[in-house]
Every structure is written in structure tokens, then in C-alpha cells.
């Protein structure tokens, strides 16, 4: 993961829009959207790309209301003449909680064909905020809805997990899951890792992205069939048990008492899992520890 001036720069996905997609966004942004006043009651929300409301902003509108707090909402007008909030859902939610559905608010109206264009605009506007940017997982969900993530979000969903909304099927730390996807050209390693995790752990434990990346690294760098070995190991070891082994290895390496940086966890998880598999490798044989250690993805 990249760092610049001591700051983690890898949490913001770069180059997510290709040239054709940029043309699609530009067509919308080149509109001259009128600013009109609409009643809150006619504004809809599409949670396939929206984030949960930011409670700090909701509370400000709810408890310390002023017109200045509202500003101008960005709204999509679909071909069926319905209105959908692109940017400003937290402010809308604050007014709803005040019970003021008949209040008129200023809205900048973009003519959109539907959900996919709205998701593009949501990601575009929110990724360019200078204050309190949206979470990476929210942007990744929006990119998935818009169809500009090259299949990442669909693959996560097909494997039975989600990037947002919480619960045991929510993958905590979407940035690491995205790194797992990027290990190879078609997300094979991530997909194998998620299916193994689904079989052994889903609905039982919280699943963290660094664990998914650690398992995916095994698949990617082993270059041989290890699926049975991985699945058997995950059936025997819970995420907490694996992290306990990681801590022991960390301490043995001379870092006893030191906090493990999250970026170090995927590499350590990979090594611990490889060591466990190599104790009883079965027909597939041992995992090449040297090759695994030489790789620095997720290190």
C-alpha cells in the first residue's frame, strides 16, 4: 500500500473511471442544471449507491436548523419525472426527522437516465469533497452500481458478501478486499478466498478485509491447487485463532508488545496459514514459503 508524507494514499481508488465512462459523466456535468425549490416529500433515495446518513449532519439539521445548513441539494430527475437525491441525503434525512416533509428546499436538477448515471455522479461529487469524504466502501458500492468497477462489486455479491450495510456478511475494510481483487486480472484469487471464507465462517464471525487479502495471497502466489487445504484449515481455525497465531509470530520476530499495523496483517496472515498448511500438506504438497515471503503485496 502506498504512502506519501507519512499518509496512507491507497484508500482512494485511482483511475476508477475509464475514458468512455468519463465521457458519460462529462455529458451530465456539461448540463446547465436549473436550481429549483422542491418539497422534501417528492425526493426519493436509492440505497443501492447511497451511504447511510451521516448522523452528525442529520443531528445538526434536526436540532440546530437553519437555512444556511441546507445549502443546495443535487438531485437527479429520471425520465419518469421522479426525483432522486444524489448529494444531500443526510440533510434530507434531518428534515424528514423534523417531520417537515412539506418544506421546500433548493435543488440543483440533473437530467439522468437512471440509477447507473446517478451512481456515477454520487461517486464523482463525494470523491471530490475536501471535508469528510465518503467512506471507501461507499464509493466502491457506487462504482459497482454504476458498472465502472470491472466486476469487483458483483463478484463480492456473488460470493455472498456485501461492502456496506453491516451484519455478518459485511466485509470490514473494503480497501483490502479491493487489493485482493487486484492481485490478478480477473479477481480469481479474491473469489476463491471469499468462497472459502463463506463455507467456513460466514454468518458466524465478523470478516475483515485484511483476512480476505491474506487468504487471497495464498491462492495467488501458490500457483497450484490448494483449495481443499485452505478450506480444511479455515474449518479448523476461526479468525480469532488465526490472529492469535499471527500475534505469536509477531512476538517471535522481536515485536512483542508492539501493535501490528493493519497493512502488515495480510502478509502475516498469509505466512501463518501457509505454515499451518505445510504441517500436513496432503496431496497438493507444501506451499512455497520463499515465494510467498518475497511477495510484498499487502505488506
pLDDT in tens, the chain (299 residues): 444 444 433 343 444 556 666 777 788 888 899 999 999 999 999 988 887 767 888 888 888 887 777 889 999 999 999 999 998 898 999 999 999 999 999 999 999 988 888 888 888 887 665 344 456 777 787 778 777 788 898 999 999 998 876 677 889 988 899 999 999 989 999 999 999 999 999 999 999 999 999 999 999 988 778 999 999 999 999 999 999 999 988 888 776 667 888 888 999 999 999 999 999 887 777 888 877 776 654 44
What is the phi/psi pair of residue 10, to 5°? -90, -5
The string of DSSP codes covering 51-110 is PPP-HHHHHHHHHS--HHHH--EEEEE-TTS-EEEEE-HHHHHHHHHTT-TT-EEEEEEE
The beta strands (E) that lie in the chain are given as 3-4, 7-8, 35-39, 43-44, 73-77, 83-87, 104-111, 171-172, 207-208
Domains and CATH numbers, the chain: 3-133 (3.90.1530), 152-294 (no CATH)
What's the pLDDT at 80?
A: 96
**Residue 15: helix, strand or coil by DSSP?**
coil
CB neighbour list of residue 146: distance below 8 Å, 6 or more residues apart: 21, 49, 116, 117, 119, 120, 123
pTM to 2 decimal places: 0.66
pLDDT value of residue 140? 80
**What does the pLDDT read at residue 10?**
38
Task: Give the pLDDT of residue 50.
Answer: 82
**What's the confidence (pLDDT) of residue 163?**
84
216, 267 in Cβ contact below 8 A? no
Amino acid at each position: 500500500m502506498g504512502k506519501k508524507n507519512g499518509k496512507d494514499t491507497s484508500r482512494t481508488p485511482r483511475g476508477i473511471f475509464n475514458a468512455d465512462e468519463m465521457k458519460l459523466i462529462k455529458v451530465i456535468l456539461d448540463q446547465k442544471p436549473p436550481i429549483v425549490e422542491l418539497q422534501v416529500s417528492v425526493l426519493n433515495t436509492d440505497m443501492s449507491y447511497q451511504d447511510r446518513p451521516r448522523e452528525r449532519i442529520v443531528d445538526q439539521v434536526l436540532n440546530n436548523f437553519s437555512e444556511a445548513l441546507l445549502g443546495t441539494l443535487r438531485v437527479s430527475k429520471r425520465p419518469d419525472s421522479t426525483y432522486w437525491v444524489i448529494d444531500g441525503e443526510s440533510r434530507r434525512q434531518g428534515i424528514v426527522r423534523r417531520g417537515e416533509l412539506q418544506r421546500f428546499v433548493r435543488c440543483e436538477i440533473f437530467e439522468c437516465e437512471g440509477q447507473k448515471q446517478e451512481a456515477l455522479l454520487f461517486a464523482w461529487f463525494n470523491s471530490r469533497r475536501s471535508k469528510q469524504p465518503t467512506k471507501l466502501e461507499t464509493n466502491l458500492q457506487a462504482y459497482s452500481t454504476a458498472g465502472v468497477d470491472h466486476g469487483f462489486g458483483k463478484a463480492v455479491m456473488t460470493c455472498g458478501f456485501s461492502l456496506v450495510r453491516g451484519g455478518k456478511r459485511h466485509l470490514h475494510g473494503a480497501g483490502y478486499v479491493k487489493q485482493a481483487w487486484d492481485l490478478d486480472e480477473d479477481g480469481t484469487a479474491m473469489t476463491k478466498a471469499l468462497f472459502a471464507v463463506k463455507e467456513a465462517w460466514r454468518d458466524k464471525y465478523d470478516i475483515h478485509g485484511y483476512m480476505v487479502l491474506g487468504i487471497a495471497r495464498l491462492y495467488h502466489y501458490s500457483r497450484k491447487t490448494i483449495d481443499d487445504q485452505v478450506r480444511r484449515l479455515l474449518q479448523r481455525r476461526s479468525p480469532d485463532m488465526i490472529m492469535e497465531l499471527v500475534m505469536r509470530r509477531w512476538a517471535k520476530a522481536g515485536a512483542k508488545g508492539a501493535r501490528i499495523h493493519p497493512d502488515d496483517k495480510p502478509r502475516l496472515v498469509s505466512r501463518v496459514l501457509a505454515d499451518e498448511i505445510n504441517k500436513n500438506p496432503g496431496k497438493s504438497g507444501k506451499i512455497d514459503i520463499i515465494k510467498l515471503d518475497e511477495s510484498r503485496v499487502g505488506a
